[in-house]
Structure 1
Amino acid sequence: MVELKVRKFGNSLGIVLPKEVISRLHTGDGQRLYLIEAPDGSYLITPYDPSFEEKMAKVEDICNRYRNTLHVLAK
């Protein structure tokens, strides 16, 4: 467990992530992180956009359904 402290940054509040957390998240300065609320009410910080995952699942479905059509179009 990593303890974080909420601090004031100008007119906003924020947290500073330790170097080891940044490393484990494979993120850096200027990159986006997403705060996701879990079904149990807890929160998860992740560098992965959950809406992108949903979009990719739809793409995979379309690719599977229209495999032959896409194969012909790729020629």
Structure 2
Amino acid sequence: MNAPANLAKSLKLIKVGNSTGVILPKDVLAKLGVEAGDSLDLSDVPGGITITRHDDGFAAQMEAAREVMKRRRNALRELAK
């Protein structure tokens, strides 16, 4: 999936202590609805990654789903047949 033309940007990686960072332009931060200090989520998708604003409610739901899948692995495996 290609990014819309208005968000197609080349970003440079920078050294931040022992880590590597990237500076997001103001228009990208506005599109995400975030500001300095907010959290972002990275997700693997076919062909790359997506960056989205962190959603505590969604994160809690996903953790609950992972716990159910872990505890009910056999039942889910049977249902998948």
> TM exceeds 0.5?
yes
Residues 34-69 of structure 1: CA deviation (Å, up to 9, x unaligned):
11101x14100110449816728x8xxxxxxxxxxx
Matched-pair identity in %: 38
What CA distance in whole angstroms lies between the structure 2 residues aligned with 1:50 and 1:44? 17
Residues 14-47 of structure 1: CA deviation (Å, up to 9, x unaligned):
1000011001110001100011101x14100110
Q: Does 1:46 align with 2:52?
A: yes
Which runs of 4 or more aligned residues in structure 1 lie more than 3 Å from their structure 2 counterparts after TM superposition? 48-51
Q: What's the RMSD between the two structures over aligned residues? A: 2.6
Q: Does 1:35 align with 2:35?
A: no
Query: Which residue in the other structure is 1:25 paired with?
Result: 32
- State the 1:13 CA deviation: 0.3
TM normalised by structure 1 equals: 0.62
Structure 1: tracts of 5 or more residues without a match: 59-75
Structure 2: tracts of 5 or more residues without a match: 1-7, 65-81
